[in-house]
Structure formats: C-alpha cells, structure tokens
Homo-oligomer: A and B are copies of this chain.
Amino acid sequence: MQYDIQLTLDQVHALTKRLLLAQGFNERHANAIANTVTAAERDECRHHGLFRIPFYVNALRAGQASGDAEPTVSKLAPAVIKVDAHYGFSPLALEVADAPLAELAKETGIAAVAINNALSVSALWPEVERLADKGLVAFSFVAASPYVAPAGGTKPLYGTNPMAFSWPRANHPPVVFDQASSASARGEIQVRLRDGRNLEEGWAVGPDGQPTTDPATALAGAQLPFGGVKGAAIAMMVELLAGPLVGDLLSYEAGEKDVANTGAPCGGELIIAIDPVRCIQNGDRAAQLAHGERLFSKILEQKGTRLPSDRRYEARKRTVVEGVTVPTALYEQLLELTTGEYSGKRNAYEGDDLIKGVHQVAN
C-alpha cells in the first residue's frame, strides 16, 4: 500500500465537496458531509473519512437518500426540539440542530433533540464535541442496521449502536468518547476477512449460535455486545433511545428498509445537552470545570492511562500542519467521482475496490 498523495485538510474538504456536488448533493449537504469527512481525516479516524464517501454516494444513487432535503426544526416541548432530516444524510441535520439545541440547553439547563429520518454513516463525536465546545455536556445515541445479538441470544437484532459523551474543558478540547455497543467494529471484521486473520474471542457467533473467530462465519452470524450482559444492556438502551423514544426505526426495521443494502440505514438520533453550570447552586463555571480537571489529573497521573479523545487530538495537531496522506489508487477513484462517474459497486461492503483500498489505509 502506498501513501503517495499528500493533501492539506482544505484539499480534502474541497475534493470531497466537489465530488459530492458532481454526484448530485446540493451545496449545503455537500458542505456538511465534507466537514464531517474532513474532520475524520484530520483526527485520523479514517473509517469515517474519505473511506465513507461510497456510502454517501451509493445511497443517493439507490434513491434512498435525498441530496437536497432541507432539515426542518420544530419544538416538541419546552426542552425538546425535533430536526427532521427528510431522508437526507445526518451531517446537515446535525449542523442545523446544533445552535437551537445549545441555546435551549442554556435556557432550560437540560434539553434534547430528536433527529428523525436521517441517514447516518458518520461518527457521533463531531456533534457532541461541538456542544462541549459551547460549554455543554452532551450525549448522543444512534441505532443502525441489525448486526448484534441481544444478551443471551445469537441472532442479529441491535445495530452496533454507538453512544457518545462529551465533557467540556477550560483550556483544552473536550473529553469525548464515542463507542459502539458491539465488541468490535463491523469494518474490523471485514478487514480481517480480507486479510485472512482470525477475530478475537467474544466478538461474534456463527449462524449456528456457536462462538466463532472466523470472520466469514461471524458476518453470516451475529456480532456480540461489548462487556457481556452489561454491554448488551447499553445496546438495548441505545436502541430504545434512537428508535421508539424519538419515534424512529429500530435497527431491524431500518435494516428491512435499506432494500438496496447500501449500508447507510435511515433512522433517528437522540442528543441530550446539559449546561453544567445550571446543575449547581452557585453557578461558578470555572470552579466546576476545575473539578472535572481534578479527575482528569488523577487519571493521567497513573501510568498507562490516557483520556478517551486524546489520540484524536494528537492526530489533529499533526494533520492541521502536515496534512494527510491518501493512497494514489484511492485518490484517483475519488477524482473520478468528481466527474460524476462512479465505478464502484452498489454494496459498499462486497468487492468494491474503492472500499478495499481504504480499508487497507484504515488498518
């Protein structure tokens, strides 16, 4: 694998936006998706960077995504708003939701947004990081295609159901985690299938319900939640919050609706934002943040520790200056997309060279 092409983050953004426009996304969607893709490349979360572009393009081509739906905002309750993405991808809906949610949380102390009818293939950390940059504590929950078995079960039911959390800091980017409820990322299993490597114990069961470390058997069976029964409870919680709570699809329903098998399921997202200073009596924000810092100091004084988001922030420092590297083959395929052409297959996960190329980068 060669890392031949060096791109600045501005170039990543421009390339992404140009190809999305060529593929039929409107200006606002192309810009929002390019922001998300660029942020992922910047933080070296390559699975959510340029790698993701075929997911966006495939869903649009399959007629399952709208390239120009304008998200609409409405108020459901004094502390709850709704953003309907109208079958557009989530990045624009999330950008639209950000300011009203932050404003509402600062007014009421705690507030939520129900995102509906959004195609979601991006990470959750950008939305909770944005809210924490405004001084808020935030949670986000998303369900997706059914891949993961419930506690004690062996058949796919839950999505990989990520949940994200952010905590603001005074002179440092926020502490953020964004983690799937499954033991491993699905992409990691696919990469190991391609590379002929076994899975770790506890990641999956086969169609017969028996534990397996064989990637193909696992993909035909079900992934397992992280951390046994407790992780499965988290997965169930995320499923309920991103589905029935916000009036959107459960993972298995979203899977049934993704008829073209684009891997870009449509569904809901719940984001909760809390203004920490409204949760204490004296309202001293600096003292409250300093209290959080005491915990972080206590964590970091132990050898071998780091805060959940620090690896991303270290990458960010580097890439903002040095840019990122992109394999020539990938770069050329992306360039091809800017002309409106697209040689990739429909199902992003099966035999698509573009995906394969980026999997190698990601790994």
Residues of A within 8 A of B (CB): 74, 76-80, 82, 107-112, 114, 137, 149-155, 157, 165, 167, 175, 177, 179, 226-231, 233-234, 236-237, 239-241, 243-247, 250, 252, 270, 272, 274-276, 278-282, 288-289, 291-292, 294-295, 298-299, 302-306, 308
Contact = CB atoms under 8 A, between A and B. Distances in A.
9 contacts: A74-B281, A78-B109, A177-B236, A227-B230, A239-B295, A240-B292, A247-B282, A250-B294, A250-B295
B247 A288 contact: yes
A77 B108 contact: yes
Contacts of A82: 279, 281
Contacts of A279: 76-77, 80, 82, 112, 114, 245-247, 270
B111 A281 contact: no
A245 B136 CA distance: 10
Given A227-B228, A295-B250, A111 B110 contact: yes
Contact of A304 (B153, B278, B303): B153
A134 to B, nearest CB: 16
Copies in the complex: 2
The 8 closest A-B pairs by CB, nearest first: A227-B227, A77-B109, A153-B302, A247-B280, A80-B109, A77-B278, A244-B291, A152-B304
A80 B250 contact: no
A211 to B, nearest CB: 13
A302 B154 contact: yes
A302 B78 contact: no
A99 to B, nearest CB: 18
A94 to B, nearest CB: 17
Contacts of A247: 279-282, 288, 291
Given A227-B228, A230-B226, A237-B165, A110 B107 contact: no
Contacts of A226: 227-228, 230-231
A234 B179 CA distance: 10
A79 B109 CA distance: 6
B243 A295 contact: yes
Contact of A108 (B79, B241, B272): B79
B292 A244 contact: yes
A109 B246 CA distance: 12
A298 B157 contact: yes
A240 to B, nearest CB: 5
| A153, A272, A289 pick with most chain B CB within 10 angstroms | A153
A243 B291 contact: yes
A280 B110 contact: no
Given A110-B112, A245-B279, A250-B291, A167 B240 contact: yes
B227 A231 contact: yes
Contacts of A149: 302
